[in-house]
Structure 1
Amino acid sequence: MRLELTAFTRRGAALAARLAEELTRRGHQAACTRGAGESAADWTAQAFGRAQGLIFVGAAGIAVRSIAPHLRHKSTDPAVVVVDERGQFAIPILSGHLGGANDLAREIAALLGGQAVITTATDVNGAFAVDQWARAQGLAVCNPEKIVDVSSALLEGKAVSLWSRWPIAGVRPAGVSDGEREAADVAVDWYRPERDALWLCPRTLRAGVGCRRGTGAGAIRALLDAVLGGERLSPLGLEAVCSIDLKGDEPGLLALCGELDLPLTTYTARELEAVPGEFSASPFVAEITGVDNVCERAALAAGGVLLRKKTALNGVTLALAGREPRLTWNTDGRILP
C-alpha cells in the first residue's frame, strides 16, 4: 500500500519514522510526509487524495477532525489508522474492510507489539466479511451499497447465496451457500448480474488500445466506456491499458491512464507478434507498426481470453481481454496452488 504517516510530538515522530521503515521492509511504500510547519489539516487535504492509507500517530480526535472534510464514500476513501505515541493501540477509523484499515491496524499492532482495536460488526461477531474477502481476492465491489444487505443478513444468522463464474478453493465460510447465477445474493463475475445482487468483479480486465498519433483522452475514453457498457462490464474491473511501445508516450493514452489510475503497459512489435490466437489483421497497421494488430494482441499479451474483438471509432481501436482469477476463501489474500 502507498502509506503516508504523520505525528504531532517528538516521541510520536520517532515512532512514525520507525513504523514507516518497518512497513517499507514489509513491502509497503511508507513515508512520513508532513512538512515542517505544515498543519495537520493541510497535510490531510493532500495525502487523503494521493495515498491508499493514512497513519496518524497521536490523538484520535485530531485524526477525526482532519479527515472529516474529505470523506467521500467507503468505496473510495483511503484506509485511516490511528496509533498512540507509545504504540500500544492501532485503531482503524476509516475504510476498515474495503480500504484495508483493519488489516493494516493488525499489521501495525504486530510490528509494535501492541493491540489492534477492531470495531466492525462482522469482525466482532466472527461473521464472514464479504467486503474484506473481496479486497483480499482482488475483486472490485461494483455496487458497494449492497454490502450492508449481505452483512446484515449474515449478522442476523441468515444464509446468503454466492455464485462465482470461477471455482473458489478452500472451505466455504459459515452462512454462505452455493447460489444460482440468476438468483444469488452475491455474484462474482466480469459481467453485471441481471439480478440486483452484490457484484464483485475480478480486477483482471485489460483494454488493448491502438490510436492515431495525437488522439485525445476523450476519444479513447468514449470508446472504452461504450464497449464496457455494451458488454455489461465494469471499468472497476480494469487492471491495465495496453498498447504497442510506439504509443508509450502518447499523451491521450497517458492522460486516460491518469484518469483511471491504471498503468499503461506496452509491448514491442515482436512481443505482440508472438501472442497466440486469431486476430483482425490489418496490412496498414502492419506497415506502420510492424505487427498486423495492436489492440487485440496487446489485450491478450498477458494471457487470458478475448472478451471483445477489435472495435474502431474516430481513429481509436479497442479490444478487451480478461485473465481468469484464482480464488480462495482465504481472507488474507493468499492464493492456493
Structure 2
Amino acid sequence: MKIAVLSITRHGVALAGRVVAALPGARLHAPRKFAVEAEAAAPGAAHAYDGTTAEEIGRLFAGQDAIVAIFSLGALVRMLAPHLESKTSDPAVVALDDGGRFVIPVLSGHLGGANALAGRLAAALGAQTVLTTASDARETIGVNLLGRELGWTLEAGHDTLVRASAAVVNDEPVALVQEAGSRDWWRNHANGRRGPLPANVTLFDRLEEVDPERFAAVLWISARAMPEAYAARLAGRCVIYRPGADA
C-alpha cells in the first residue's frame, strides 16, 4: 500500500515518525516549516510540502491507498469533503490525535481497509481504536468482508448487501450456509473476532436445509449455482460467497 502520514504540528511530526516506522513503505508529509523535524523523525521517508494542508490532502487523496492524518478530525473532514467520490474508490483515511491515544477510521473503513489499518496502528502505538461501523463495534459479521482475506469473491447487489448487513447488526435471524471453502473464517475475520458467532446467526451445511421464510437474510458460501427453487424465494436477501479452489 502507498500510505501517506500527514502531520501539521511539531509534536505530531514526532508521532508521525513512529507511525511511518510501523507501516513499511509509508512516507511522512509535513509543512515546509517542519522539514528538519520531519527528516529527523523519518529519515529518507519525509516530504516537506509548500502551500496549504488542504491542497496537500487533495494531492494525496488522488494518489495514495491510505492517509493517516495526525490532526483534528473536524478539520480533516472539511478537507476531505471536496474529494469524496465512492467507498469503492476512495482511499482509506485514519485520524490520529496529537497525543497518539486514539486511532479513528474516517473513510473507507471496510472496503478500503481503514479499520484494519487503525487496528495495526493501535497495536503499534499502544493506542485505542475508535470503531464506528456497527459490525466492527459489535464484533459481528461484516457482510461485505466475509472471507475476503481468504480470497473469496462476493455476488450481491448494493441493496442486497445493505439489507443483509442490517439484518446482521440488528439481531434479525440470519442463516449462514457453508458448502465450500475454509471453515477457519471467523477467528481470522477482518479486524479479528474474539467471541462466539452471534446468536442471531444459524449455521447450515446445505442451502436446502434453510426455510427462507424464517430468515431476514441468507449468507451462502458455495461453488454451485443457485437452485432454481430458491432463486425467487431468496431474491434480494441472499449474499453469495465464492471460495477459490484453495480457499
Same fold (TM over 0.5): yes
Q: Any stretches of 5+ residues in structure 2 without a counterpart?
A: 30-46, 187-196
1:3 and 1:141 mapped to 2: Cα distance? 27
Per-residue deviation at 1:39? 2.4
Per-residue deviation at 1:140? 4.5
Residue 49 (1) aligns with residue 70 (2)? no
Q: 1:192 to 1:17 in 2, by over 3 A?
A: farther
Per-residue deviation at 1:82? 0.3
2:137 and 2:122 mapped to 1: Cα distance? 17
Aligned residues of 1:166 and 1:325 also touching (Cα < 8 A): no
* 2:36 equivalent in structure 1: none
2:121 and 2:150 mapped to 1: Cα distance? 21
Residue 149 (1) aligns with residue 163 (2)? yes
Per-residue deviation at 1:85? 1.4
* 1:16 equivalent in structure 2: 16
2:225 and 2:16 mapped to 1: Cα distance? 43
Residue 121 (1) aligns with residue 162 (2)? no
Q: 1:39 to 1:108 in 2, by over 3 A?
A: same
Q: 1:39 to 1:187 in 2, by over 3 A?
A: farther
Aligned residues of 1:57 and 1:82 also touching (Cα < 8 A): yes
Relative contact order higher in (CA < 8 Å, ≥ 6 apart): 2
Per-residue deviation at 1:14? 1.9
Counting only pairs closer than 5 Å after superposition, residues 100-249 of structure 1 correspond to structure 2 as 100-141=113-154, 143-163=157-177, 166-170=180-184, 173-174=197-198, 175-178=201-204, 180=207, 185-188=218-221, 195-196=235-236, 197-200=238-241
Per-residue deviation at 1:117? 0.9
* 2:38 equivalent in structure 1: none
Per-residue deviation at 1:101? 1.3
From 112, 116, 120, the equivalent of 1:99 is 112
* 2:78 equivalent in structure 1: 65
Per-residue deviation at 1:192? 8.4
1:192 and 1:62 mapped to 2: Cα distance? 49
2:3 and 2:166 mapped to 1: Cα distance? 31
1:59 and 1:115 mapped to 2: Cα distance? 16
Aligned residues of 2:94 and 2:114 also touching (Cα < 8 A): yes
Q: 1:192 to 1:80 in 2, by over 3 A?
A: farther
TM-score by length of 2: 0.69
Aligned residues of 2:161 and 2:239 also touching (Cα < 8 A): yes
* 1:213 equivalent in structure 2: none
Residues 141-183 of structure 1 show CA distances to partners (whole Å, capped at 9, x for unaligned) of 5534433211211222223234456333237633153352897
Q: 1:147 to 1:188 in 2, by over 3 A?
A: same
Aligned residues of 1:192 and 1:199 also touching (Cα < 8 A): no
Q: Any stretches of 5+ residues in structure 1 without a counterpart?
A: 203-322, 327-337
Over the aligned positions, Cα root-mean-square deviation in angstroms equals 2.9
2:242 and 2:56 mapped to 1: Cα distance? 33
Q: 1:105 to 1:188 in 2, by over 3 A?
A: same
Residues 27-71 of structure 1 show CA distances to partners (whole Å, capped at 9, x for unaligned) of xx3112464214222222232233221110111112111211222
* 2:28 equivalent in structure 1: 32
* 1:249 equivalent in structure 2: none
TM-score by length of 1: 0.52
Q: 1:32 to 1:162 in 2, by over 3 A?
A: same
Letter in 1 for 2:245: E
Aligned residues of 2:181 and 2:222 also touching (Cα < 8 A): no
1:43 and 1:176 mapped to 2: Cα distance? 48
Aligned residues of 1:54 and 1:78 also touching (Cα < 8 A): yes
1:70 and 1:199 mapped to 2: Cα distance? 32
Q: 1:168 to 1:64 in 2, by over 3 A?
A: same
Which has more radius of gyration?
1
2:60 and 2:136 mapped to 1: Cα distance? 28
How many residues end up aligned between the 2 structures? 202
Q: 1:188 to 1:171 in 2, by over 3 A?
A: closer
